[in-house]
Amino acid sequence: MPQVIFLPHEKFCPDGLVVEAEPGTSILELAHEHHIEMESACGGVCACTTCHCIIREGFDSLEEADELEEDYLDKAWGLEAHSRLACQALVGEEDLTVEIPKYSLNHAAEAPH
């Protein structure tokens, strides 16, 4: 089984994490299964950009993003050439290294009072 390395993220995964993944599992599902509570305001149905992530290694092993995902990615904070929506990026047969950006554009999140 391929390994997915989640790089350290101050809020969601301070120490980073390495997990084994069943091919076909979305990066978002995998993160949530391992208590990395990365945002997904739309519930993981490709209707926002809050689960934006950057694939630092293994990007070419993923299936290409479809047009809808590409349209949402255009609106993501910190977009890079290897950006994907975690709800749409499915683990393939190769290891992945995933970075969760420092910020996301979550218009549904309520600011602290």
What CATH number is attached to the domain comprising 80? 3.10.20.30
Domain assignment present for 108: no
3-state secondary structure of 9: strand
Cβ–Cβ under 8 Å, residues 54 and 99: yes
pTM above 0.85, yes or no: yes
Q: Residue 91: which domain range?
A: 3-99
The tally of CA atoms less than 13 A away on the side-chain side of residue 57 is: 10
The verdict on residue 45 lying in a domain is: yes
DSSP-derived letter for residue 52 is E
Query: If you average pLDDT over every residue of the chain, what do you get?
Result: 91
Q: In total, how many domains does the chain have?
A: 1
pLDDT tens track for 2-37: 999 999 999 999 999 999 999 999 999 999 999 999
Whether 28 and 86 have beta carbons less than 8 Å apart is answered as yes
